[in-house]
Amino acid sequence: MAVNKINYDRIVDKKMSMMSTAIVLALFVVTIVMICLFSFGPYDAELEGPEYTEALLNWAYALLGISIIAALVFPIIAFITKPKQGFKNLLPLLGLVAVAAVCYYVSDNTVLELPGYNGSDNNPETIQWSEAILFLTYVMMILNIAAIIITELFKKIKK
């Protein structure tokens, strides 16, 4: 009976791996198409920019939403299904929340002097959120680069 359970788990893992690979490839292909449309598509003289700017921004927002949902939902599911391992999965999420909070409180909310701009987005809340997101992006890029370098160093050391 245990052998059947192990074989079933392997089959499920293989199917899930194939599905996730297909989804990632589909998202990648759509992203490449959107970037090509933006970069090489027609120019809109009325908007003074590429015609597919709004479509690319909407796609970027959709990808951001998908990644935020995945980053929140999967650790919670893992926590519910396997509580002991769930704590390990929640630590990076809590770390991200802590880094985001630090980035928000470090950011400045001074209203900018923009000659000729009369829009409603030049307010302290929007400026502070924008700067916090920029800081968070910088921190995450640095951490990702450091993780890549450290991982490669550990691989070299183990050999």
Cα–Cα distance between 44 and 49 in angstroms, integer?
A: 6
User: pLDDT value at position 6?
Assistant: 58
- pLDDT higher than threshold 50 for residue 1: no
pLDDT in tens, 10-41: 776 777 778 888 988 999 999 999 999 988 88
Res. 4 pLDDT band, cuts 50 70 90: low
140: closest CA among 84, 107, 92, 90? 92
pLDDT in tens, 120-138: 888 889 889 999 999 999 9
- pLDDT higher than threshold 80 for residue 8: no
105 versus 110: which is more confidently predicted? 105
- Whole-model pTM: value is 0.58
153 three-state secondary structure: helix
pLDDT in tens, 62-101: 999 998 898 888 878 877 887 777 777 778 878 889 999 9
105: closest CA among 140, 131, 142, 138? 131
- pLDDT higher than threshold 60 for residue 108: yes
For residue 34, what are its two tokens?
Answer: 């959107």
pLDDT in tens, 35-68: 999 888 888 777 677 888 888 999 999 999 998 8
